[in-house]
Amino acid sequence: MDSRKIRLTFLFVLMLMILPFHAAEASEFPFTVYPVPEKGTILKWEKVNRLLPTGKKFKVIDLETGFYFSVQRRAGNKHADVQPLTYKDTAVLKHLYNGKWSWRRRAILIPVKGKMLAASMHGMPHGAGALQNGFPGHFCIHFAGSTTHKTRNADPSHKLMILKAGGKLEDYAHHANPHQIVQMYLLSLKENDPDLMKPVLPEKGVERKKLLKTGKGVTAIHYDIRGKESKKHRTFKTVIPVKTVIYRENKGVEKTLIHITVARLTPWSAWKISKVDLGR
């Protein structure tokens, strides 16, 4: 027996030894990983609507982990209402939300005709569902220009997740006004995603580390940014009050008025959050 046959025989035996273990492992954790690019293409809903018509099956790739699963678009005229194709696809989706259904948004990529489309999803089954997949309903995928069923407005969390998937968060933050800066910080807490607040924090230092920790234990937040929003600010510093209801893990509900200080160095500089007074 030549050396090549010996190597092939050894590999075959090794595979027989390994496969049962991985088969059992896959039954518990049926995940498939996709090589994730740095960013996707942000495409308007009107174009996406034609690329992904009702009935279309496609992959959904989680930006953070690379885990992907397959879905079918079932409905939706301002965004895509989709269902996981199989029980395995449902298991992957549920794992992304730590085993619990959730309204929290996640940045995703969708491969279509040689492009990776930037999008956002939540993980909460609602409404009707027709597929035998263990998912009691459908969930929503938003693209640039998508709106919600009830308000017909763009969902701010979905908007930021789409920018994240498209690698445009930094650019958005650089041109944002103080109210938009504050909203990025608050949505970061709401979605439990520090990436949403990083572009609006000081680049380094103790205050940055402190602010990144403010979302720890937050399970939900409702907020009302007070004062008028203005695109033209001639000042270099402004304090914006925010009425909040914050739900923290094992701590219950906190109703408080917080004050967020936003500052910049020059009239051409980007606004950054310099201080958050939680009002406790």
Spatial distance between the Cα atoms of 187 and 168, rounded to a whole number of angstroms: 16
Q: Per-residue pLDDT averaged across 142-148, rounded?
A: 97
Query: Strand runs (DSSP E) across the chain, as ranges?
Result: 57-62, 68-75, 80-84, 102-112, 115-123, 139-142, 218-225, 237-248, 252-263, 272-277
206, 119: one domain: no
Can you name the residues that pair with 112 across neighbouring β-strands? 115
Q: Per-residue pLDDT averaged across 160-177, rounded?
A: 97
Task: Flag whether 147 is in a domain.
Answer: yes
User: Whole-prediction pTM value?
Assistant: 0.85
Residue 68 is predicted with a pLDDT of 95
Question: What's 266's domain CATH number?
Answer: 3.10.450.50
Q: Which of 32-46, 64-78, 181-195, 264-278 has the lowest mean pLDDT?
A: 32-46
Pairing of strands 252-263, 68-75: unpaired
pLDDT tens digits for range 13-24: 333 333 333 333
Residue 36 is predicted with a pLDDT of 74
236-240's contacts with Cβ under 8 Å and 24+ in sequence apart are 236/263, 236/264, 236/265, 236/266, 236/267, 237/261, 237/262, 237/263, 237/264, 237/274, 238/178, 238/262, 238/263, 240/178, 240/179, 240/182
Q: Indicate the residue among 108, 139, 165 that finishes a domain.
A: 165
Task: Flag whether 90 is in a domain.
Answer: yes
Residue 206 is predicted with a pLDDT of 83
Q: Indicate the residue among 118, 144, 165 that finishes a domain.
A: 165
Task: Flag whether 21 is in a domain.
Answer: no
96, 205: one domain: no
Residue 37 is predicted with a pLDDT of 72
158, 134: one domain: yes
pLDDT tens digits for range 52-74: 999 999 999 999 999 999 999 99
Q: Indicate the residue among 145, 165, 185 that finishes a domain.
A: 165
First to last CA, the chain: 78
The residue count for the chain: 280
Residue 2 is predicted with a pLDDT of 47
Residue 12 is predicted with a pLDDT of 36
Residue 252 is predicted with a pLDDT of 86
131, 182: one domain: no
pLDDT tens digits for range 219-269: 999 999 997 776 666 689 999 999 999 999 888 899 999 999 999 989 889
Domain tally, the chain:
2
**Cα within 13 Å of Cα(261), Cβ side:** 12
256, 184: one domain: yes
56, 140: one domain: yes
Residue 170 is predicted with a pLDDT of 97
- What domain range is 121 assigned to? 45-165
Task: Flag whether 81 is in a domain.
Answer: yes
86, 153: one domain: yes
152, 88: one domain: yes
Average confidence score pLDDT of the chain:
86
183, 116: one domain: no
Q: Give the rounded percent of residues in the chain with a pLDDT score beyond 70.
A: 86
For tokens 């896959």, what's the residue? Answer: 26
Task: Flag whether 136 is in a domain.
Answer: yes
Residue 13 is predicted with a pLDDT of 36
146, 237: one domain: no
Spatial distance between the Cα atoms of 122 and 99, rounded to a whole number of angstroms: 14
Task: Flag whether 240 is in a domain.
Answer: yes
Q: Which of 19-23, 37-41, 177-181, 261-265 has the lowest mean pLDDT?
A: 19-23
227, 207: one domain: yes
Residue 232 is predicted with a pLDDT of 63
88, 192: one domain: no
Task: Flag whether 272 is in a domain.
Answer: yes
Question: Has residue 159 got a pLDDT over 70?
Answer: yes
Query: Of 278 and 99, which is predicted with more confidence?
Result: 99
Task: Flag whether 37 is in a domain.
Answer: no
